Amino acid sequence: MDDVKITVSVAAVLRAFLEDTGRHRFGYDLMKDTSLKSGTLYPILARLQKAGWIESEWEDIDEKAEGRPARRFYQLNPDGAAAARVALAELHERLGVQSTPALGLSPLGGQA
């Protein structure tokens, strides 16, 4: 797995994924949760996928019957979830922010 530079925007995306690691998320859903615009979100998703933290797949629908195009769903994989927790915990420690037990974050990447 590649290292990912954790910016404020990347941290927001990772937190959204960590709220429910089993949930498949699509771009519009993530934009609403993070308040990021598509021009910021999609490059982050591409970097996270290239780094091996997330996986994606296209929704299997009949686009004509649904009246809309298929969505691309994203999900943190187990290694990505672990890396995200460590990265966010380290960021919180550097910033002097309290840990976030609801997301399983604690300083130095340990489980809360």
Q: Domain locations in the chain?
A: 8-109
DSSP 68: S
75/92 Cα distance (integer angstroms)? 23
CATH of domain 8-109: 1.10.10.10
**Residue 45, pLDDT score:** 97
User: 7 or 96, which is more confident?
Assistant: 7
pLDDT for position 79: 95
- Taking all residues of the chain, what is their mean pLDDT, rounded to a whole number? 87
- pLDDT tens-digit map of 34-53: 999 999 999 999 999 999 99
Here the contacts of 28-34 (C-beta below 8 Å, separation 24 or greater) are 28/71, 30/74, 34/9
Q: Tell me what pLDDT residue 108 has.
A: 43
Q: pLDDT value at position 104?
A: 53
Q: pLDDT (tens digit, 9 = 90+) per residue, 73-107? A: 999 999 999 999 999 999 888 887 665 555 555 44
Beta partners for residue 26, in sequence order: 73
Which residues have CB under 8 Å from 71's CB, separation 6+? 26, 27, 28, 58, 59
Residue 91: predicted pLDDT: 87
Strand pairing class (25-26; 72-76)? antiparallel
